[in-house]
C-alpha cells in the first residue's frame, strides 16, 4: 500500500529555483524521448544507456524516466478494454435516443426534430470512429496517442487560452526519483532534517551542473511539512540505529521513499 505525503518547497533562491526548473525540463524531455523510443520497439536497457549522453542525466534519473513511461504505456494498454466498453455503451445509448426521437417516443425540448437528430447522428459517428480506433489499438497491441501536459491543456493552447510558455511549463513540470534503502532512502532526491534548526530540506542531485571528474552538485531547498506529518517524516529521513560497527559507531537503517516534484 502506497502512502502519500505532500510537502512544499519554500525557497526564494532564484538561482537554485531556475536550476531546478531546468533539471525538470530536461528530465521531462528525456521521458518523452524514452516514451517514443519504447513505442518504436527499442530496448529499455539501450534507452537507459543512451539518455545520459543525450540529456546529461545520471543513470538513475535515466532509469526513472524509463520506468515512468513503461508504467504509462502499461496502464494505457490495460485501460483499453475498459475504454472500449465505455464507448460501446455510449453508442448504444445514442442509438436508443435516435430511435426514440424517430418514432415519437420522445420529443426534443430546445430544438426542432431534424436539428436534434442531426446532432445525435454526428455524435454517433464520433463514437463509432472512436470504437474503431480503440479496436485497432487492441488488435495491433498499440496505444492511443498520449499528450504530455494533458489533453485539456493541449486544446487550451490550440485555442490561445494559454501561452506557448505556459504550455511548455505544463509539459516540463515533473522530477521523479525512486526510493533506495541502500542510498539513505533515496539517492537523487533526498529528504534531510537539521535537528539544530528543526528544518526539513530536500537535496536534489543536479547532473546538469556536474563538472568532469566530480560528483554532481546538489540543489538544497527548505521544505514545509504539515505539522501532523512532521514526526513521521523526521523518523523516516533520520533512519533507525540497528547495531554498532567495529569502530563503535551506530549503523543506521533507512527506509526507501520515492519523491516526485
Q: What is the mean pLDDT of residues 37-58?
A: 96
Domain residue ranges in the chain: 14-171, 177-260
**Rounded to whole angstroms, how far apart are CA atoms 55 and 59?**
11
Q: Is 184 exposed, middle or buried (0-12, 13-18, 19+ CB in 10 A)?
A: middle
- State the pLDDT at residue 216: 87
Strand 176-177, strand 259-260: pairing:
antiparallel
Phi, psi (degrees; rounded to nearest 5) at 3: -110, 130
Q: What is the mean pLDDT of residues 25-48?
A: 96
CA 94 to the chain's CA centroid: 34
- State the pLDDT at residue 144: 93
For residue 76, give every residue at least 6 positions away whose Cβ sits within 8 Å of its Cβ, in sequence order, or none.
143, 144, 146
Q: What is the mean pLDDT of residues 225-243?
A: 91
Helices 164-171, 151-158: crossing angle, 10 deg rounding:
170
- State the pLDDT at residue 211: 84
Written as one string, the DSSP assignment of 97-120 is HHHHHHTTSS--SSS-HHHHHHHH
Q: What pTM does this model have?
A: 0.88
Q: Residues 125-179: pLDDT tens digits?
A: 999 999 999 999 999 999 999 999 998 999 999 999 999 999 999 999 999 999 9
Mean pLDDT of the chain: 93
Cell of 213: 571528474
- State the pLDDT at residue 246: 82
251 vs 123: which has the higher pLDDT = 123
- State the pLDDT at residue 188: 97
Q: Which of 54, 24, 74, 63 is nearest to 260 (CA)?
A: 24
For residue 187, give every residue at least 6 positions away whose Cβ sits within 8 Å of its Cβ, in sequence order, or none.
60, 177, 180, 205
- State the pLDDT at residue 153: 92
**Rounded to whole angstroms, how far apart are CA atoms 167 and 149?**
7
User: If pLDDT is split at 50, 70 and 90, which confidence band does 187 have?
Assistant: very high
Q: Is the pLDDT of residue 205 over 80?
A: yes
Amino acid at each position: 500500500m502506497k502512502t502519500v505525503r505532500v510537502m512544499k518547497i519554500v525557497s526564494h533562491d532564484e538561482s537554485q529555483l531556475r536550476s531546478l526548473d531546468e533539471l525538470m525540463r530536461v528530465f521531462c524531455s528525456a521521458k518523452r524521448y524514452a516514451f517514443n523510443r519504447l513505442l518504436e520497439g527499442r530496448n529499455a536497457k539501450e534507452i537507459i544507456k543512451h539518455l545520459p549522453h543525450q540529456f546529461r542525466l545520471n543513470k538513475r534519473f535515466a532509469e526513472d524516466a524509463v520506468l515512468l513511461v513503461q508504467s504509462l504505456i502499461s496502464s494505457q494498454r490495460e485501460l483499453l478494454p475498459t475504454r472500449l466498453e465505455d464507448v460501446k455503451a455510449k453508442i448504444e445509448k445514442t442509438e436508443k435516443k435516435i430511435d426514440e426521437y424517430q418514432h415519437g417516443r420522445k420529443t426534443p425540448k430546445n430544438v426542432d426534430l431534424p436539428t436534434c437528430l442531426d446532432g445525435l447522428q454526428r455524435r454517433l459517428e464520433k463514437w463509432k470512429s472512436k470504437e474503431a480506433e480503440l479496436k485497432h489499438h487492441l488488435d495491433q497491441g498499440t496505444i492511443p496517442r498520449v499528450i504530455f501536459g494533458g489533453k485539456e491543456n493541449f486544446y487550451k493552447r490550440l485555442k490561445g487560452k494559454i501561452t506557448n510558455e505556459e504550455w511548455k511549463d505544463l509539459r516540463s513540470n515533473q522530477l521523479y526519483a525512486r526510493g533506495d534503502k541502500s542510498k539513505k532512502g533515496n539517492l537523487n532526491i533526498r529528504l534531510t532534517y537539521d535537528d539544530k534548526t528543526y528544518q526539513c530540506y530536500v537535496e536534489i542531485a543536479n547532473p546538469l551542473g556536474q563538472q568532469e571528474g566530480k560528483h554532481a552538485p546538489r540543489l538544497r531547498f527548505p521544505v514545509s511539512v504539515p505539522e501532523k506529518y512532521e514526526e513521521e517524516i523526521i523518523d523516516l529521513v533520520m533512519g533507525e540505529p540497528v547495531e554498532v560497527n567495529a569502530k563503535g559507531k551506530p549503523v543506521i537503517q533507512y527506509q526507501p521513499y520515492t519523491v516526485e516534484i
